[in-house]
Chain A
Amino acid sequence: EVQLVESGGGLVQPGRSLRLSCAASGFTFDDYAMHWVRQAPGKGLEWVSGISWNSGSIGYADSVKGRFTISRDNAKNSLYLQMNSLRAEDTALYYCAKTPDTAMVSWGQGTLVTVSS
Chain B
Amino acid sequence: SYVLTQPPSVSVAPGKTARITCGGNNIGSKSVHWYQQKPGQAPVLVIYYDSDRPSGIPERFSGSNSGNTATLTISRVEAGDEADYYCQVWDSSSDHPVFGTGTKVTVL
Contact = CB atoms under 8 A, between A and B. Distances in A.
Main secondary structure of the interface of B (DSSP, over half): strand
Given A50-B97, A61-B96, A102-B31, A45 B86 contact: yes
A72 interface: no
A103 B99 contact: no
B19 to A, nearest CB: 19
Given A104-B43, A107-B42, A109-B42, A47 B86 contact: no
A108 B88 contact: no
Interface residues of B, number: 26
Given A44-B101, A45-B86, A102-B33, A59 B96 contact: yes
Nearest to B92: A102
B73 to A, nearest CB: 18
Interface of A: 35, 37, 44-47, 50, 59, 61-62, 95, 102-110
Given A102-B90, A103-B31, A103-B48, 5 more contacts: A45-B35, A50-B97, A59-B95, A104-B33, A104-B43
10 contacts: A44-B86, A44-B100, A45-B86, A45-B102, A47-B98, A47-B99, A50-B97, A62-B1, A104-B97, A109-B42
